[in-house]
Structure 1
Amino acid sequence: MKDKIFDLITFGRSSIDLYSQNIGADFVDIKGFDAFVGGSPLNIAVGASRLGAKASIITGVGNDKIGDFIINFLKKQNVGTDAIPRINGARTSAVILGIEPPDKFPLVYYRDNCADNQVTIDHVIDANISQYKILEISATALSVEPSRSAVFYATEIAQDHGVDVVLDIDFRADQWKDVRSFGLMVRALLPKVKIAIGTEEEILAATLQNAEQISIKHQQISAPEIKGNLDASIQKIISSGPEILIVKRGSKGVSIYYKDGQQQDVPGFPVEVLNVLGAGDAFASGFIYGYLQGWSLYKACRLGNACGAWVVQKPGCANDMPYYKEIMQFADSRGGLMPNEKETFMVH
């Protein structure tokens, strides 16, 4: 990794996010929305950049004003935009969110003919992935062609050039005609992945056998309830290829599963929740930054947990990602990044 020019390139969704200005109001009573930017890969690139990493993103935007809005924001955040093609005839995607803390966040996606689904192998070639230390992939990019093939091609380039692949097991049920195909695509990609990251629900989705296992309440697309055997799903994923699986557990923190059967629990930073959207992306940005610094996985995950805790207290996602100095002050005020590391390491 020492000979690489850049740190991180992410791949997948980008959007304009319209979030309710009326915190706590039922969706039908919302009076106005604030405009942010979003999409998991975009959030992660911005978060990593604010911490100090040299980050870029592979995504697509339409030849429209919303595309201008997103690219303008990214440039101001020092995120590389050279790998963002303008897709003629397609639209930049949009998301509308209600905010009813602590546990209701109804979500509506507008992704028909969206530009980021139309990223091609040629766009990947133009992105010069070989110059980066890490390629981070969002699993939602696997939902349709041509972005699906572009993802697989990107991971091949990464493997051929010593670029570590990090997979965000990003599950959005409404983006799949058959939700079982989500797991098929994820499991097909896992042999090319070094580190996989997902929530407990996303881990279950990646091994889903029956669509009836999924229940979505209050239109919370990003937080489905999924029935299944979590331990069996974890073992199926870790045996499919990645060296490391990180399971996000909300306010409890995360658990690191290693290929050799060891597990390490990393506590979180409990805070009062305003908006859970973007917390997982904030975790990924903090974790990836720490990993790039050569930190232990425990310490990198603690920084990720701190970033996630920071963002759930804020109304936005990318717009509210922390900068390095302020997140370190936040973590230090709550016990620091390295409490009880030795006590949480175990073998199962």
Structure 2
Amino acid sequence: MDDLTGGGAPDSTGAPLLDVFMQGTTFFDMVLTGLPSQPVPGTEIHAEGMGSCPGGIANLAIAASRLGLRTGLASTFGDDVYGDFLWRTLEQEGVDLTRSQRVADWHSPVTVSLAVHRDRAMVTHAHSSPVPLAGLVSDTPITRIGFVSLDEEPEPWVSRAKAKGAKLFGDVGWDPSGRWAPEELTGLGDLHAFLPNSTEAMAYTRTEDPRAALMSLAELVPVVVVTCGGQGSIGIDSLTSEEEWVPSLPVNAVDATGAGDVFDAAFILGTLREWPLRNRMAFGNLCAALSVQQVGGSLAAPGWGDLADWLAGVRHAAAAGSRSAAVLANSYGFVADELPSHPAVSLRRAVATIARMSDA
């Protein structure tokens, strides 16, 4: 088993060697759950739950760090109370912020996520950072995997990291213009793995079902996995000639925010540990399923303690005669071999307010 829990020796800049490095915008996420419907003009509705947590690229960073991956993030943070909360929380989660920066007189981007009936809508207020993200990474991070978003301009560090042996993973975001221009996917040829959801995959490939989109994308990138929400995930690894469909797990979803990022982090870990494609996808499905049962994207991400508890519960139910639990225990038996031997630590969860002194 690879050692994915240490901090790594520093490189020439003093930054630690990393398992995964990413760059992007960090948002302060306020998540409202248990809404009976989306708001209608002229009315007021009440949410049953609420949580505050780092969002945006922080969803992936925290999910990866909680799985023991040495994770680096380049992002900008305002000098407001939101920025204080975001920076402190990421540091507490073990994310390396060597290449991140606090920015004076600029407020941190904020997203309000409205969770309704297993889906969500989001409202964001943000201004461009006065410090471009491109200015944060002047060197080449020494990392095993670099994560990029294809709907953003490629940064110089990406090609340099690939030249030094990093595998590039990527996804795309929602296109508010509705154009879904295929030319935005020109960077696919540089990727080792592409991990879109079904809506994104079909829109960019101009196909009408997820598998057709998968087959189209598999002509362009070695590893493609399309996540399909409650229908699970489908994937092709052309390097190993594997094609898989892995069903989702039955869960009572509270908040789907960040579930895709949690899946990506889990798939990255499985790649670093050289698992078969089915196990990589199953682990992604499992981690995403555990995350949607908590409020808040990044702080809902599971750690190894959550995974150990889930597996123990499934095995207990299987021993008591549950056939469905027996199927799960067999399908996810590989997780037991991957559980770290060190004690699991308790994880922070999203809370309604931004705590002050109680965070210390």
Fold in common (TM above 0.5):
yes
How far apart are 1:97 and its partner, in Å? 1.5
Determine which structure has the larger helix proportion and give its number. Answer: 1
Matches within 5 A, 1:163-312: 163-169=166-172, 171-174=173-176, 179-181=179-181, 183-185=182-184, 187-208=185-206, 228=208, 230-240=210-220, 242-259=221-238, 262-312=242-292
Q: CA deviation at 1:244?
A: 0.4
Verify: 1:138 aligned to 2:138, yes or no.
Answer: no
**Is the 1:60–1:116 contact (alpha carbons within 8 Å) kept by the matching residues of 2?**
no
Count of equivalent residues: 303
Identity of aligned residues (%): 20
* Residue 114 in structure 1 maps to residue 125 in structure 2: no
- 2:159 maps to 156
Separation in 1, partners of 2:168, 2:65: 18
SS at match of 2:205: coil
How much does 1:236 deviate?
A: 3.1
Alignment check: 8 A CA contact 2:263 2:285 kept: yes
Unpaired segments ≥5 residues, structure 1: 143-147, 209-226, 342-348
Question: SS at the partner of 2:69?
Answer: coil
For residues 204-223 of structure 1, the C-alpha deviation after alignment (integer angstroms, 9 at most, x for no partner) is 23235xxxxxxxxxxxxxxx
Give ranges in structure 2 of 5+ residues lacking alignment.
Answer: 10-16, 315-324, 335-360
1:86 counterpart (95, 102, 116): 102
Distance in structure 2 (CA, Å) of the matches to 1:197 and 1:22: 29
1:42 CA drift (Å): 1.3
Worse overlay, 266-275 or 82-91 = 82-91
| TM-aligned CA deviation for residue 133 of structure 1 | 0.6
Amino acid at match of 1:271: V
- Cα separation, 2, equivalents of 1:320 and 1:191: 33
Aligned counterpart, 2:137: 124
Does 230-239 or 43-52 show the bigger shift?
230-239
Deviations 1:254-290 (A, max 9, x none): 1111337752112321211111121111111111122
Aligned equivalent of 1:64: 80
Q: Give the letter for the 1:10 counterpart.
A: M
Corresponding residue for residue 345 of structure 1: none
Alignment partners' CA distance in 2, 1:229 and 1:252 = 13
CA 1:106–1:30 in structure 2 vs 1: closer, same or farther (change >3 Å)?
Answer: farther
Q: 1:339, CA displacement in angstroms?
A: 5.9
Structure-2 separation of matches of 1:289 and 1:101? 30
Cα distance between partner residues in 2 of 1:116 and 1:20? 30
Other structure's SS at 1:18 match: strand
Q: How much has 1:70 moved relative to structure 2?
A: 0.8
Q: Which residue of 1 aligns with 2:30?
A: 18
- TM-score (structure 1 length as normaliser): 0.77
- Compute the displacement of 1:69 (Å): 1.4
Q: After TM superposition, give the deviation of residue 239 of structure 1 in Å.
A: 1.7
Letter in 2 for 1:164: K
The letter of the residue matching 1:125 is S
CA distance in 2, matches of 1:296, 1:199: 21
How far residue 166 of structure 1 moved from its aligned partner, in angstroms, is 0.5
One-letter amino acid of the structure 2 residue matched with residue 298 of structure 1: R
After superposition, the Cα gap between the structure-2 partners of 1:194 and 1:62, relative to the gap in structure 1 and judged at 3 Å, is same
Tell me the distance in 1 between the aligned counterparts of 2:193 and 2:234: 13
Query: In the aligned structure 2, how far is the partner of 1:198 from the partner of 1:117?
Result: 28
Q: Is the 8 A contact 1:16 1:93 kept in 2?
A: yes
| TM-score, structure 2 normalization | 0.75
